[in-house]
Structure 1
Amino acid sequence: MRIITLDDFIDTYFKIIQRGSGFFFSKFTFNKEKRTKSAFDNTSFISSYFWSIPKVLERWNILITGKKNQNYIDFLTQDFLKDKSGLRLLSLGSGISNREIDLAKHSAIFKEIVCVDIADNLLKIAAKNAEEKNVTNITFLAKNIDVLDFKENDFDIIFFKSSLHHFDNIENFLSGKIKHTLKPDGLLIINEFVGATRHQFSKTQINAINEVIKSIPKKFRTRFKSKFHKNKYRGVGTIRMIMADPSECIDSASIMPSIHKNYNTLVEKPYGGNLLMSALRDISHHFYELDKEKEVILNKLFKLEDEYLEENQSDFVFGIYENKKRK
């Protein structure tokens, strides 16, 4: 386990440049919930993360649905759930709830969608977006999960969209509250980071990430909002992870074992991210718009990640799981 690394100081410096000093000082509080909320409260920030790259999204679509123009939400509504009706879905850690609003548009399938998050400012934006799109079968609750009332057999679907890795004690959570509030034949649907807890990646993974960085021409390694280049990834320290967001990947390595123990697998699609997430962090903006040179570079990166995944488990997974009947 890495307590502190050089990258902690480098990343902190660039976070101040990119998100401002106010974001940095928001971390100096003993209130864990406030630090967690601050990680998501800067809605004006234009990030430079790899999931914003259109070609990466196409890659994910192909790996999840087999079609570059069909994302996992389209797969759910057009294929997997197309013959269902009157469903109630609970989304925990829904954030700005764009995907949930997209699901709610299919009112023939979904009777009600309930979105829960502690970031009330994001839910206000979500509520406004839903109203503008005339989506009425969706509810937004600004609550901490610890005080949420989980009624027995209450929902047909529990949905985690990049939020399950923010929950602690995953085994107890999935086998307890989630199984309790999910109907006996209900579905657990995830689109999640399921890799190393607190991003404590192995030396093998870190070496592979650095090989990816080396393969990117220097002119495309200028960090977002700076003139400095990204040359190496050294890993992240647990102290900075906890300071930045106490909930970030707090028990992420337990997600897949806990799901497989408590639920039946219906669909499971790994889609990588092991190398791309860390290698492209802060330099993704170079690849938002592509020319032939950049497309060749990304295809090379994809190939390197595919080769890595031949012998290593994926850090990101889309999955649909059925609640195992209680004995």
Structure 2
Amino acid sequence: MENETSLVSVGDFLDVYYKVKQKGFLQLASLFNLTKNKRVSAKWNQYQSSSDFWIIPALQQYWNNLISGNPEVSYESYVIQKYLHNKTNLSLLSIGCGEGRHERKFAVSGLFSKVIGVDISNERIERATQTALENNLNIEYVAGDFHQMIVEKESFDVILFDSSLHHFNDINGFLKKEIFPLLKTEGILVANEFCGPNRLQWKKEQLDFANELLKELPKKYKTRIDGKSVKRKVYRPGLIRMLLVDPSEAPDSAHLKKALQANFKVLEEKNMGWNILHILLKGIAHNFLNNDEETNQLLAYLIKKEEEFIERVGDADSIFGVYKKSRLE
């Protein structure tokens, strides 16, 4: 049986090569700081979502439809309409908020008197703060390690994790000891999260399936962001590179779903896919931004193939869920 983890892979060298071409050696070298938090902060300070699959509008609409039943209704609007529409003076905490896109969508509803976003990246918090000011939104943004922050217990009606919970170690213990106490009675936790293999150690069947689909793609859809080189194979990332560049990436992601279910009452939970498209489209997603017939047909085909794969393996690498802090707790 083939080992399902890799210490080093060919993909590591290719990834470094293309990042040096895109960002330059000195900028890339700055990621390799001595401390874990500095490496994580440096990675996200420099992060640009230029060709990750979640930038594709057609996929965003597909995920919206899975959650809300309407491709034009985002999960933020869906949560507001379904769970918060008759409430006021609410408080929200967004952990790992990045540049603040998601909590801004909650803030504009007018239902919240307090919205706080926390992120380890100083630069992303600065951009989030500036955008909130430009849009006249009263959102407090805080840069730093959430573990080191003092937060009043039972002070939030909503806690949000969007692609951030999977960056924490021992997710079960983190939810139980640090997150559950912060929610008010009857408060909800909203999670839109990666829950696939730890450290992105894709299984062989995922890699094989993704590589078969990659072979089917026309060349123009496989061109990397430099406009010259072509993505020819999907690789499992090596653990050494993962730990060097971003030691916070998916250390306990495989246990994320069970940890949420163990600590909260599940109000709803939906599989969002990501098993194939996440790895297949990495580095080439910019080729799928056009809203033309060929691109839309190709994306529809890829979505269908991922759905078939998920049906076969019986699990998804991403979930959307709403969870409640029950009075019984």
Shorter-chain TM-score category?
over 0.9
What's the offset of the Cα at 1:324? Answer: 3.8
What's the offset of the Cα at 1:197? Answer: 0.7
CA distance in 1, matches of 2:208, 2:175: 33
CA distance in 2, matches of 1:238, 1:280: 21
Q: Percent identity?
A: 36
CA offsets per residue over residues 132-183 of structure 1, 9 Å max, x none? 11112x2111121121113221211111111111111111001111111112
- Answer with 301-310 or 116-125: which moved more: 116-125
2:28 equivalent among 20, 24, 27: 24
Residue of structure 2 in register with 1:228 after alignment: 229
Conserved? CA contact 1:150–1:180, under 8 Å: no
What's the offset of the Cα at 1:186? Answer: 1.3
SS of aligned partner of 1:268: strand
CA distance in 2, matches of 1:326, 1:79: 22
Residue of structure 2 in register with 1:247 after alignment: 248
Residue of structure 2 in register with 1:9 after alignment: 13
Code of the residue aligned with 1:18 in structure 2: it is Q
1:40 equivalent among 33, 37, 44: 44
CA distance in 1, matches of 2:27, 2:269: 36
Code of the residue aligned with 1:39 in structure 2: it is K
Residue of structure 2 in register with 1:61 after alignment: 64
Code of the residue aligned with 1:118 in structure 2: it is I
Code of the residue aligned with 1:33 in structure 2: it is N
Matches within 5 A, 1:170-189: 170-189=171-190
CA distance in 1, matches of 2:328, 2:149: 22
For structure 2, list consecutive stretches of 5 or more residues without a partner in the other structure: none
Residue of structure 2 in register with 1:320 after alignment: 322
Conserved? CA contact 2:207–2:235, under 8 Å: yes
Residue of structure 2 in register with 1:196 after alignment: 197
Conserved? CA contact 2:49–2:55, under 8 Å: no
1:130 equivalent among 125, 132, 154: 132
Conserved? CA contact 1:150–1:177, under 8 Å: no
Conserved? CA contact 2:39–2:244, under 8 Å: yes
CA distance in 2, matches of 1:106, 1:174: 27
CA distance in 1, matches of 2:167, 2:49: 22
CA distance in 2, matches of 1:104, 1:124: 18
Number of residue pairs the alignment of both structures matches: 324
TM-score (norm 1): 0.95
Residue of structure 2 in register with 1:121 after alignment: 123
Matches within 5 A, 1:132-151: 132-136=134-138, 138-151=139-152
Code of the residue aligned with 1:220 in structure 2: it is Y
Residue of structure 2 in register with 1:274 after alignment: 275
CA distance in 1, matches of 2:127, 2:235: 36
Where has structure 1 moved over 3 Å in runs of 4 or more? 324-327
Code of the residue aligned with 1:199 in structure 2: it is L
CA distance in 2, matches of 1:61, 1:46: 19
CA distance in 1, matches of 2:304, 2:127: 38
Conserved? CA contact 1:209–1:278, under 8 Å: yes
CA distance in 2, matches of 1:22, 1:71: 39
Residue of structure 2 in register with 1:49 after alignment: 52
Residue of structure 1 in register with 2:214 after alignment: 213
For structure 1, list consecutive stretches of 5 or more residues without a partner in the other structure: none
CA distance in 2, matches of 1:169, 1:248: 13
Conserved? CA contact 2:220–2:287, under 8 Å: no
Conserved? CA contact 2:194–2:253, under 8 Å: yes
What's the offset of the Cα at 1:316? Answer: 1.4
SS of aligned partner of 2:273: coil
What's the offset of the Cα at 1:46? Answer: 5.5
Compared with structure 1, are the counterparts of its residues 184 and 9 closer, same or farther at alpha carbon in structure 2 (3 Å cutoff)? same
SS of aligned partner of 1:250: coil
What's the offset of the Cα at 1:80? Answer: 2.8
